[in-house]
Amino acid sequence: MRRHVSESSDHVGVTAEELFLPLPSGDTARLTAFARFCETHRPQALAALPWAAAELAGNDGFSLMLAFIARWSGARFYVPRDARRFAAKAGMPIGAITHSRFLREAGPPALIEIPSAWGIFLVLRRVGIAAALATGEPHSLIARRFGVTERSLRAA
């Protein structure tokens, strides 16, 4: 039986098995559903993300953060002083607040470390597992859905 992540219309058409495949990229229904899942669990997702990803998601949205991470995964990224140059270099409309925070945290070499897409996916997957556990679903279903052992769920 294929179950949806939640009964809300935010995830219609995307099952949990599809949602938590490796990090979605491009403008797909799965990316949209994944970003909506993150928005639904915003406090938990922001708290779990590395600082650069959390800044992007918190200020510019989860969709933009996912696209940025997919494009620049694992890179050292130069942060120009000019916000427009920064957005042009990134290839996406990153806001002035995010730019100023990146610039402040970049330090003298003006470089920030972009987390890997795989690391971001794992962090958000843990948020998904915690959300599924909170619903009271049987551990066997959650384990099958996320590809983990029931033992790891008992330890969580």
Residue 27 has pLDDT above 70, yes or no: no
What pLDDT is recorded for position 108? 83
Considering the entire predicted model, what is its pTM? 0.81
> pLDDT averaged over the chain?
85
Give the residue with greater pLDDT, 37 vs 3: 37
Q: Give dist(CA 63, CA 79) in Å, integer.
A: 21
Residues contacting 14, CB < 8 A, separation 6+? 4, 5, 29, 30, 33
Domain boundaries, the chain: 28-155
Q: What is the pLDDT of residues 55-75, one digit of tens each?
A: 999 999 999 999 999 899 999
Q: Which residues of 37-54 are buried (b: 16+ CB within 10 A; e: fewer)?
A: bbeebeebbbebbeebbb
Q: pLDDT tens for residues 117-142? A: 999 989 998 999 999 999 988 999 88
pLDDT for 31 equals 81
AA letter at 16: A
**Residue 98 vs residue 20, higher pLDDT:** 98
The pLDDT score that the predictor gives to residue 8 is 41
- DSSP β-bridge partners for residue 4: 15
Confidence band for 7, pLDDT divided at 50, 70 and 90: very low
Mean pLDDT of 72-84: 93
- Three-state DSSP string of the chain: CCCECCCCHHHCCCEHHHHCCCCCCCCCHHHHHHHHHHHHCHHHHHHHCCHHHHHHHHHHCHHHHHHHHHHHCCCEEECCCCHHHHHHHHCCCCCHHHHHHHHHHHCCCCEEECCCHHHHHHHHHHHHHHHHHHCCCCHHHHHHHHCCCHHHHHHC
pLDDT category, 5, cuts 50, 70, 90? very low
More confident call, 6 vs 125: 125
Q: Are 81 and 73 in contact (CB under 8 A)?
A: no
**What pLDDT, on a 0 to 100 scale, did the predictor assign at position 88?**
94
